[in-house]
C-alpha cells in the first residue's frame, strides 16, 4: 500500500516523463479498484451453443469483498454471488438456499460465461507476481511481456499486455505453460468516471474458440460509494 502511494506521488512529480513498466502495470492493476464501487453491468455471452445476456448489479469493497446480484433475465433474477476473500457463495432464489462453491469446482464457469469462479476470487496484482520486459514508447503505446516469478501462485505461463498511449491497457493475452493462447482480454470505450479514466467494456475471448466471447459493459459505475458493511454477509443474500 505504502509503495502504491509513493508510486502515485512519484508519478505526480515525474509528470510527463516516460512511464516505467512497473507504473503501467500498477495502473492496470488499480484500474478497476477503488475503496469501493457500485456498478450496473450487462454481460453478453456468446458461445457455439448459446447466446445470453444478463444484467447485474455489482458491489465491491476493496478487492476482498464483492457481491453480484442478477437483475435479469427472469429465470435467474435474484441470484446472488458473494465473494469474500477466497470463498464464493451462490444464493439461489428459486430454492431459497445458499451454496458455497467447493474448491473442486472453482474452475467451473460462472453463470455460463467464459469467466470461471476462480476469476472472481483472484486478487493478485500482476506487478507482484510477474517479472516483465517492455517495448514501445509514448507515440505508439507499449507492449509488456510478463513471466511469472518462480513461486508466484499464477496459472499462466506468460502474459502479454498491450498498453495504449493513454497509459491504459487495451488487451492482455494469457498463455498456458505450453505456450498456447488460453484467453484474450481486451478493454475499450474509455470514459471519465469521477476523475478516473476507465474502460467501460471488457471482452474475454477464449483461445480455443475465437468466435466465442463474454463481454461486460458497464452501464453505471460509481467509485467510493457508501456500502453498509453487512451487505457482504450471508444473511444479506436473500434481499
Partner 1 sequence: MRFLASIAWRNLWRQKRRSLITAGGMAVGMTLCMALIALMDGMFADMFRVMVEQQLGHVQVHNPEYPGKRVMYDTIEDASAVVASLDALDGTVAVAPRAFGAALLGGEAGSTGVQLQGIEPERESALSSLSERLVHGTWLANEPDHGIVLGYRLAEKLHVDVGDSLVAVTQATDGSMGNEIYDVVGLIQTGAAQLDRTGALIHLADLQELLLLGDQVHEITLLGADDSREGIAALATDIQARTPDALVQTWWQTSPPTDQMLSLRDSVSFLVLGAAFLVAAFGVFNTMMMSVLERTRELGVLRAIGLRPGRLIAMVLFESIFLGVIATAMGLVLGGLADAWMVVYGIDLSGYMESGFAYNGVVLEPIFYGHVRPGGILLTVAAVFITSVVAALLPAWRASRLEPVVALRHD
Q: Say whether residue 105 binds partner 1 (CB under 8 A).
A: yes
**Which listed residue (31, 106, 109, 188) binds partner 1 by CB under 8 A?**
109
Residues 6+ apart with CB under 8 A from 156: 148, 174, 175, 176, 177, 182
Q: Which of residues 124-183 bind partner 1 (CB under 8 A)?
A: none
**Which listed residue (31, 58, 77, 112) binds partner 1 by CB under 8 A?**
112
Query: Measured from the CB of residue 79, what is the shortest distance to partner 1 in angstroms?
Result: 6
How far apart CA 28 and CA 12 sit, in angstroms, is 17
**Which listed residue (32, 39, 45, 163) binds partner 1 by CB under 8 A?**
45
Beta carbons of 114 and 206 less than 8 angstroms apart: yes
Q: Which of residues 64-83 bind partner 1 (CB under 8 A)?
A: 73, 75-76, 79
Q: Which residues of 111-129 are buried (b: 16+ CB within 10 A; e: fewer)?
A: bebbbebbebbeeeebbeb
Query: Measured from the CB of residue 21, what is the shortest distance to partner 1 in angstroms?
Result: 38
Beta carbons of 190 and 173 less than 8 angstroms apart: no
Q: Say whether residue 55 binds partner 1 (CB under 8 A).
A: no
Residues 6+ apart with CB under 8 A from 46: 211, 212, 213, 214
Interface ranges with partner 1 (CB under 8 A) = 45, 47, 49-50, 52, 73, 75-76, 79, 90, 92, 94-95, 97, 99-102, 104-105, 108-109, 111-113
Amino acid at each position: 500500500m505504502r509503495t502504491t502511494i509513493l508510486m502515485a506521488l512519484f508519478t505526480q512529480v515525474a509528470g510527463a516523463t516516460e512511464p516505467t513498466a512497473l507504473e503501467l502495470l500498477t495502473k492496470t492493476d488499480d484500474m478497476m479498484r477503488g475503496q469501493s464501487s457500485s456498478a450496473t453491468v450487462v454481460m453478453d455471452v456468446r458461445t457455439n451453443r448459446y447466446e445470453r445476456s444478463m444484467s447485474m448489479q455489482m458491489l465491491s469493497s476493496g478487492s476482498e469483498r464483492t457481491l453480484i446480484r442478477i437483475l435479469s433475465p427472469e429465470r435467474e433474477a435474484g441470484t446472488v454471488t458473494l465473494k469474500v476473500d477466497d470463498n464464493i457463495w451462490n444464493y439461489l432464489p428459486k430454492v431459497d438456499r445458499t451454496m458455497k462453491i467447493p474448491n473442486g469446482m472453482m474452475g467451473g464457469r460462472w453463470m455460463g460465461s467464459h469467466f470461471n469462479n476462480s476469476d472472481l476470487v483472484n486478487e493478485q496484482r500482476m506487478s507482484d507476481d510477474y517479472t516483465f520486459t517492455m517495448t514501445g514508447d509514448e507515440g505508439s503505446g507499449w507492449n509488456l511481456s510478463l513471466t511469472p516469478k518462480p513461486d508466484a501462485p499464477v496459472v499462466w505461463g506468460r502474459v502479454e499486455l498491450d498498453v495504449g498511449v493513454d497509459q491504459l491497457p487495451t488487451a492482455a493475452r494469457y498463455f498456458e505453460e505450453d505456450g498456447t493462447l488460453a484467453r484474450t482480454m481486451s478493454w475499450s470505450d474509455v470514459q471519465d468516471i469521477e476523475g478516473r479514466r476507465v474502460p467501460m467494456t471488457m471482452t474475454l475471448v477464449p483461445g480455443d474458440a475465437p468466435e466465442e466471447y463474454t463481454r461486460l459493459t458497464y452501464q453505471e459505475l460509481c467509485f467510493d460509494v457508501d456500502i453498509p458493511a453487512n451487505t457482504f454477509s450471508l444473511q444479506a443474500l436473500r434481499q
